[in-house]
């Protein structure tokens, strides 16, 4: 276009005409010949086609100079507005030198489209009362072709009731009307099916069709009709309400609203009859809606009409006669005149719960009524003296809400008719709770084992009681019944949650001090007055192995070695020493066994693992060393086991031994008075008695001298060899070791041995001191003090 503006004289217009829908490759024109172009020169020049459409329909062949079709052309698509003429414009641009040719290509129409109706099915509603000659518009067809190829005429399929008329508008468009030629009858033919055909004028001829459905609309021209004019029915009295009597059937040949029938009573039907029977207006079903009583009416007469719903409704009528048959039709009745629906469970026997009255509308045997309680209950019916048909419902047995909280008392009345009729009435009686049940524990005695060294506040047991009462009568409070043990209240040792009964320990228990507790726990409800019960609780403290054995014989200061002297001439099997250990744990944990931990010569000594006796296994030889070191371990039976050790250093001597004929060991024994609860008194008595003994021994030693034996002078290291000594199987041992062993052995038996001189000569007295004096306190400090004091006394006495 720019070059066209520069060289307007170079532009020229060439026109050609072709038919639409030509095949691809068809030659439209020879542009080289039409435009006077040299084919040889075109080979070296660039030729371009500019077509003013969205598709490329044409192309140019440079070799032949022909314009040919590359895409089918549809005139109806290119010119949708159907102008009288249709042109396709394009420019041929040739360069070197530039030349532009304007070409217009006319497209002529062919009959390639058939007539088409916008709707292929047309439905018309025509009243059966329509008169011949009435017209009904039909939709026309459309044909995109032009000229003679467009629609030429319309045709209608054969029909005795309809025809068509064609009218042409000012623009040439044809319109079709459907004309009624004969009256319609819906009951004869409800719908007419026609075919409308549109035909064009092309060659070959093309056509399109549409289905025309004419629906004949009904007119209310038929009244409803019953299959009978009079209906006769027999029914028994007291027929249940809702029972179907009969169903009326009326028919109407019309359709739609004209065929819908409504049933109703006419004015000739009495209101009393209408109160007894119901008529369904839609279905014509007659049902019982009231009581049918033979004594009231022997028969009923109903006049019924059926009316359609047309614009001008039509109707039909019939009559229904119901004959009533007499039966025992009146049920006995119960009337509750007064009732107590809630009563306390402790209501006295004989109390009146309700007043009831019976009745029956029948007479004779049909009116005689009996009343009873449906099932066995703690209630009876008693006829009232005021009225023969009145009864009293009375409590006959004690009531218990915890067993039965509510009673459904079903009263049944029966008449004497044939068949008998009966009725029932239910009286509900709810029992109010009374605090008549004390709390109950699942067990009467609880044994609870508690391991010693427990943590304070530990849960021991949950002692929950149960109370079958309700509300505040069921709310329980738990308390420990106070009891003192050794001036200690139970509430200081144990605590119980007052709400849930959980028992806790308030302190750490020690089996060696407290072995068991026995007390009572009370559960009290919140009723008025409150009820309670208690349970015995036995707390057993279970021992743990928490105490190591304590070696009490041979005695030695803490950390020191026990030194003993024995003659080398000691026989085989002689008792050298005896280890005694004590354990304050329980019997199982305090079972002590002894064994050598270290021994200088394992072939020389034996140790009894149960009683701790150390004996010689053979006589000493000259090769045996003079000093023997024995380490004995005392081990308890706990888990894990605890132990204690003692080291004994034995020295052998060659000392000659001679018997003292003028000295005698006389053991004096006294029974022990023991009360471990009087520790303070024992301590004071022990100190006083020790002071007294010291003074007495000092006085005796000052006033009297012992007579020494001529055979040998008395010596601290001299021993008395006596086979029948108080210690069985004892051999020669030092005086100190002998007296210590005797002292500790007798102490284990509850006695205290003290060596004292005999007034007549140089004989010795062995005194037994009661343990109750305080000198036999089992504590380590008291035992140690007592043993040191006695040792000093005996040493001074021997000197």
Confidence of residue 245 (pLDDT cuts 50, 70, 90): very high
639: Cβ–Cβ under 8 A, 6 or more apart, which residues?
545
490 and 454, same domain (yes or no): yes
450 and 529, same domain (yes or no): yes
Res. 552: pLDDT tops 70: yes
pLDDT for residue 560 = 66
Confidence of residue 674 (pLDDT cuts 50, 70, 90): very low
482 and 532, same domain (yes or no): yes
537 and 558, same domain (yes or no): no
Is 136 a domain residue? yes
Confidence of residue 479 (pLDDT cuts 50, 70, 90): very high
Confidence of residue 66 (pLDDT cuts 50, 70, 90): confident
Nearest one of 337, 343, 332 to 391, comparing CA atoms: 337
Whole-number Å distance between alpha carbons of 512 and 544: 10
- Listed range (81-85, 227-231, 506-510) with the worst mean pLDDT: 81-85
pLDDT for residue 343 = 92
The alpha-carbon radius of gyration of the chain (Å, integer) is: 69
Confidence of residue 752 (pLDDT cuts 50, 70, 90): very low
Q: What percent of the chain has pLDDT over 90?
A: 25
- Listed range (256-265, 283-292, 568-577, 741-750) with the worst mean pLDDT: 741-750
Average pLDDT rounded to a whole number, residues 348-370: 87
Beta strands in 39-173 (DSSP E): 47-51, 58-61, 66-69, 87-94, 99-108, 116-117, 121-127, 135-138, 141-142, 151-156, 162-168
Average pLDDT rounded to a whole number, residues 337-355: 92
pLDDT for residue 659 = 38
Whole-number Å distance between alpha carbons of 580 and 587: 16
Is 515 a domain residue? yes
Whole-number Å distance between alpha carbons of 364 and 749: 108
Is 244 a domain residue? yes
Is 792 a domain residue? no
Average pLDDT rounded to a whole number, residues 675-691: 73
Is 503 a domain residue? yes
89 and 161, same domain (yes or no): no
Whole-number Å distance between alpha carbons of 325 and 420: 18
Whole-number Å distance between alpha carbons of 458 and 546: 20
Whole-number Å distance between alpha carbons of 729 and 721: 11
64 and 96, same domain (yes or no): yes
Whole-number Å distance between alpha carbons of 641 and 549: 10
69 and 133, same domain (yes or no): no
Q: Domain count of the chain?
A: 6
Residue-range definition of the domain harbouring residue 48: 14-106
pLDDT for residue 713 = 37
432, 463, 480 - which closes a domain: 432
For CA atoms 153, 156, 158, 162, give the dihedral sign. negative
381 burial class (0-12, 13-18, 19+ CB within 10 angstroms)? middle
SS3 at position 544: coil
pLDDT for residue 714 = 35
Are residues 255 and 210 in contact, defined by beta-carbon separation less than 8 angstroms? no
pLDDT for residue 130 = 87
Average pLDDT rounded to a whole number, residues 719-725: 31
- Listed range (72-86, 211-225, 321-335, 358-372) with the worst mean pLDDT: 72-86
Res. 555: pLDDT tops 50: yes
202: Cβ–Cβ under 8 A, 6 or more apart, which residues?
110, 111, 145, 148, 149
For CA atoms 485, 489, 492, 494, give the dihedral sign. positive
Beta strands in 309-421 (DSSP E): 315-325, 333-339, 342-344, 352-359, 369-373, 379-383, 390-395, 406-415
Res. 342: pLDDT tops 90: yes
Give pLDDT tens digits for 391-439.
999 999 999 988 999 999 999 999 988 889 899 999 999 999 898 888 9
Name the token pair of 15: 């026109």
Give pLDDT tens digits for 623-662.
888 888 888 888 888 888 888 888 888 888 876 544 333 3
- Listed range (253-262, 523-532, 756-765) with the worst mean pLDDT: 756-765
- Listed range (193-202, 356-365, 790-799) with the worst mean pLDDT: 790-799
Whole-number Å distance between alpha carbons of 177 and 167: 8
**6: DSSP letter:** H
Average pLDDT of the residues of the chain: 79
209 and 234, same domain (yes or no): no
Are residues 431 and 397 in contact, defined by beta-carbon separation less than 8 angstroms? no
Q: What is the DSSP string of 710-750?
A: SSS---TT-----TT-SSTTB----HHHHHHHHHHHHHHTT
Are residues 152 and 235 in contact, defined by beta-carbon separation less than 8 angstroms? no
Average pLDDT rounded to a whole number, residues 180-205: 87
Res. 712: pLDDT tops 50: no
Crossing angle for the helix pair 780-798 and 735-748, to the nearest 10 degrees: 140
Give pLDDT tens digits for 438-476.
899 999 899 999 988 888 889 999 988 999 988 888 899
Nearest one of 154, 155, 163, 162 to 192, comparing CA atoms: 162
Res. 576: pLDDT tops 90: no
698 or 45, which is more confident?
698
Confidence of residue 12 (pLDDT cuts 50, 70, 90): low
193, 217, 241 - which closes a domain: 217
Q: Residue 593, preceding bond cis, omega within 30 degrees?
A: no
200 and 254, same domain (yes or no): no
CATH of the domain at 401: 2.60.40.60
Q: Name the β-bridge partners of 99.
A: 94
Res. 144: pLDDT tops 90: no
Whole-number Å distance between alpha carbons of 545 and 584: 9
- Listed range (152-166, 218-232, 760-774) with the worst mean pLDDT: 760-774
pLDDT for residue 82 = 60
Average pLDDT rounded to a whole number, residues 488-515: 88
403, 432, 461 - which closes a domain: 432
Is 778 a domain residue? no
Is 373 a domain residue? yes
Give pLDDT tens digits for 91-125.
788 887 777 878 888 887 787 788 888 888 999 88
Whole-number Å distance between alpha carbons of 312 and 398: 79
Is 234 a domain residue? yes
Q: What percent of the chain has pLDDT over 70?
A: 82
Give pLDDT tens digits for 276-317.
999 999 999 999 999 888 878 889 999 999 999 988 899 999
233 and 177, same domain (yes or no): no
121 and 33, same domain (yes or no): no
Owner of token pair 């009286």: 427
Residue 277: count of CB within 10 angstroms of its CB: 20
Res. 268: pLDDT tops 60: yes
649 and 554, same domain (yes or no): yes
Res. 5: pLDDT tops 50: no
Average pLDDT rounded to a whole number, residues 329-339: 88
Res. 741: pLDDT tops 70: no
792 or 244, which is more confident?
244
């Amino acid at each position: 276009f720019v070059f066209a503006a520069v060289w307007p004289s170079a532009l020229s217009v060439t026109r050609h005409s072709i038919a639409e829908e030509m095949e691809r490759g068809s030659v439209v024109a020879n542009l080289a010949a039409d435009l006077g172009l040299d084919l040889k020169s075109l080979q070296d020049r660039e030729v371009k086609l500019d077509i003013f459409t969205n598709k490329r329909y044409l192309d140019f062949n440079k070799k032949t100079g022909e314009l040919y079709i590359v895409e089918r052309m549809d005139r109806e698509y290119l010119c949708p507005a159907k102008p009288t003429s249709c042109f396709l414009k394009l420019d041929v641009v040739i360069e070197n030198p530039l030349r532009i040719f304007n070409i217009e290509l006319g497209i002529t129409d062919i009959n390639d489209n058939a007539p088409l109706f916008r709707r292929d099915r047309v439905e018309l509603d025509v009243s059966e009362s329509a008169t011949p000659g009435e017209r009904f518009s039909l939709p026309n067809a459309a044909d995109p072709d032009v000229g003679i190829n467009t629609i030429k005429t319309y045709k209608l399929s054969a029909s005795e009731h309809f025809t068509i008329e064609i009218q042409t508008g000012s623009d040439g468009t044809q319109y079709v009307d459907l004309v009624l030629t004969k009256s319609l009858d819906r009951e004869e033919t409800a719908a007419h099916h026609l075919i409308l055909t549109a035909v064009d004028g092309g060659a070959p001829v093309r056509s399109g069709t549409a289905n025309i459905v004419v629906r004949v609309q009904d007119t209310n021209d038929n009244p409803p009709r019953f299959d009978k004019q009079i209906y006769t029915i027999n029914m028994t009295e007291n027929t249940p309400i809702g029972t179907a009597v009969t169903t009326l059937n009326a028919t109407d040949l019309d359709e739609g609203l004209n065929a819908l029938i409504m049933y109703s009573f006419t004015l000739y039907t009495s209101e009393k009859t209408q109160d007894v029977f119901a008529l369904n207006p839609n279905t014509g079903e007659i049902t019982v809606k009231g009581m049918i009583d033979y004594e009231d009416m022997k028969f009923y007469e109903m006049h019924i009409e059926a009316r359609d719903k047309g614009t001008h409704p039509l109707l039909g009528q019939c009559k229904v006669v119901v004959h009533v048959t007499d039966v025992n039709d009146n049920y006995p009745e119960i009337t509750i005149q007064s009732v107590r629906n809630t009563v306390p469970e402790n209501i006295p026997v004989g109390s009146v719960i309700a007043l009831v009255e019976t009745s029956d509308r029948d007479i004779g045997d049909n009116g005689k009524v009996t009343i009873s309680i449906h099932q066995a209950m703690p209630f009876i019916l008693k006829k009232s003296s005021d009225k023969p048909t009145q009864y009293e419902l009375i409590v006959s047995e004690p009531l218990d809400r915890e067993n039965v909280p509510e009673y459904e008392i079903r009263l049944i009345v029966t008449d004497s008719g044939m068949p008998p009729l009966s009725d029932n009435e239910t009286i509900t009686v709810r029992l109010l709770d009374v605090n008549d049940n004390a709390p109950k524990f699942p067990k009467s005695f609880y044994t609870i084992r508690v391991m010693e060294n427990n943590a304070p506040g530990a849960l021991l047991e949950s002692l929950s009681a149960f109370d079958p009462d309700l509300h505040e009568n069921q709310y329980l409070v738990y308390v420990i019944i106070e009891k003192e043990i050794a001036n200690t209240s139970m509430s200081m040792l144990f605590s119980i949650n007052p709400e849930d009964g959980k028992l806790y320990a308030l302190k750490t228990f020690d089996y060696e001090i407290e072995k068991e507790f026995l007390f009572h726990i009370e559960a009290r409800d919140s009723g008025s007055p409150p009820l309670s019960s208690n349970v015995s609780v036995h707390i057993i403290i279970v021992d743990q192995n928490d105490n190591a054995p304590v070696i009490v014989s041979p005695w030695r200061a803490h950390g020191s070695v026990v030194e003993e002297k024995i003659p080398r001439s000691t026989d085989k099997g002689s008792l050298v020493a005896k280890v005694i250990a004590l354990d304050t744990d329980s019997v199982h944990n305090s079972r002590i066994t002894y064994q050598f931990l270290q021994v200088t010569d394992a072939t020389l000594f034996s140790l009894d693992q149960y009683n701790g006796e150390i004996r010689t296994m053979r006589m000493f030889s000259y090769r045996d060393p003079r000093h023997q070191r024995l380490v004995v371990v005392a081990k308890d039976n706990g888990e894990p086991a605890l132990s204690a050790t003692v080291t004994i250093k034995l020295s052998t001597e060659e000392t000659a031994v001679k018997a003292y004929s003028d000295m005698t060991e006389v053991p004096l024994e006294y029974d022990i008075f023991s009360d471990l609860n009087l520790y303070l008194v024992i301590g004071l008595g022990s100190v006083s008695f020790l002071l007294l003994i010291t003074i007495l021994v000092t006085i005796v030693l000052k006033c009297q001298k012992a007579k020494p034996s001529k055979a040998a002078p008395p010596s601290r290291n001299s021993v008395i060899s006596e086979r029948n000594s108080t210690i069985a199987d004892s051999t020669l041992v030092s005086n100190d070791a002998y007296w210590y062993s005797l002292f500790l052995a007798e102490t284990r038996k509850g006695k205290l041995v003290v060596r004292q001189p005999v007034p007549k000569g140089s004989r010795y007295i062995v005194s037994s001191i009661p343990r109750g004096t305080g000198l036999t306190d089992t504590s380590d400090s008291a035992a140690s003090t007592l043993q040191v004091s006695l040792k000093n006394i005996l040493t001074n006495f021997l000197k």
